[in-house]
Amino acid sequence: MHPVGAEVHLKRFIVTEGSKVRLAALDPGDTSAFHGDKKAGEKAMDAIIRRMDPLQELLYAEHRHKVLIVLQGMDSSGKDGTIRRVFEGVNPEGVRVAHFGKPSQEELDHDYLWRVHRQVPGKGEIAIFNRSHYESVLVERVHNLVPPEVWRKRFQQIVDFEEMLNDEGTTILKFFLHIDKKEQEKNFRERLKDPTKHWKFSYLDYNERKFWKEYTKAYEEAIERTSTQEAPWYVVPSNHPWFRDLVVSQAVVECLESLGMRYPKLDRAKARFAAEEESA
């Protein structure tokens, strides 16, 4: 049995800059060294979540670093579930979720990054993108909403945009939640069976299944062209939600731990007040 508290080797899921991506060759049912042991995985997850809460508080208190988390995936890959599980124990004051659905008319009147830039994290904040600027090289490509000469230019524009954010102090983590078509169908059927999930079912999402191959090709190229050392993509096996959440949470925790954060010291006025109170 996998030892309790053990962790996932994240490097196996990172797409290194310049490497090729073939999603069909990556097992969405992979559970790494846990060998499908959900109970052990959930215990490991609980341990990681306990580490995240003080780190997120420290990020907020230090008010120096910014963290952007991008979640992408086929419909029903678990973006909402990942957000709920991974960030269930943190202070909502320092975590914000932005969802990018169909653009409004105002958003369409601007460049495609306009609505995205308005949602990037500020100092001390974690911003989570539930879908993101990558929709502009996915949906718009698959449905021919813009010509190829337009969306092809966007790969470099996105790399430049993320490089600028990184230069300005934003740490970026990007996760592609990888499921297979059979798992997607099962998830859709569960939504129909469970009255508490009926609201999540969408005929539009279901109809997108016929574009599975086109979306796969679009995702592969997007990940290949935009995974950089500063803003890497993780291809996360997501057929098993517990393992998906474990990988994402561990990556976020390791990212926060790498920032070398410290609580801010009292300024002179506050230190003088504290000294006076102590001597009183």
CA 129 to chain centre: 7
Output the pTM of the full model: 0.91
* Mean predicted confidence (pLDDT) in 12-29: 96
Q: Note the pLDDT of residue 274.
A: 58
Range of weakest confidence among 64-68, 91-95, 108-112, 192-196: 192-196
* Mean predicted confidence (pLDDT) in 37-61: 94
Q: Domains of the chain by range and CATH?
A: 10-279 (3.40.50.300)
Q: Note the pLDDT of residue 39.
A: 94
Q: Are 178 and 77 in contact (CB under 8 A)?
A: yes
Distance separating alpha carbons of residues 74 and 179, to the nearest angstrom: 7
Per-residue pLDDT of 224-251, as tens digits, reads 999 999 999 999 999 999 999 999 999 9
- Please check the confidence at residue 121 and state whether its pLDDT lies above 90: yes
